[in-house]
């Protein structure tokens, strides 16, 4: 089994084209991405810019999402950074599942801590 690593930086308007091309040219081999980050102007907030891309590419058929922490491009993440990245990606994956009809409930399932 082979898994294909996708690009990490893709603007929103090119995510679907990129996903379609990967599926076509790689024989539908499983595809995973680190993001993709949809913009490069937010150091310290890459978990947000990549979470947007992750929700989109998950909706378009990406097999696995690799989380990104707020420390991406800045340094090594600590435990809290990892938690923030994982929660962000659980939300992104859930949003993709809702868009794909894999989850009928989009309000009561909470992948992270409940808001105060």
pLDDT tens digits, residue range 18-63?
999 999 999 889 999 999 999 999 999 999 999 999 999 999 999 9
> How many residues does the structure list for the chain?
116
What average pLDDT is seen over the chain? 90
Beta bridge partners of 32: 5, 64
How confident is the model over 83-110, as a mean pLDDT? 85
């Amino acid at each position: 089994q082979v898994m294909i690593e996708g690009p990490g930086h893709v603007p929103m308007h090119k995510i679907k084209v990129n996903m379609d091309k990967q599926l076509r040219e790689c024989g539908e081999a499983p595809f995973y991405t680190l993001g993709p980050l949809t913009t490069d102007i937010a150091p310290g907030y890459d978990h947000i810019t990549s979470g947007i891309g992750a929700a989109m590419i998950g909706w378009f058929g990406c097999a696995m999402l690799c989380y990104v922490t707020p420390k991406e491009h800045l340094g090594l993440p600590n435990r809290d950074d990892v938690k923030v990245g994982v929660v962000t990606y659980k939300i992104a994956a859930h949003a993709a599942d809702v868009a794909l009809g894999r989850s009928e409930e989009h309000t009561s399932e909470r992948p992270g801590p409940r808001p105060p």
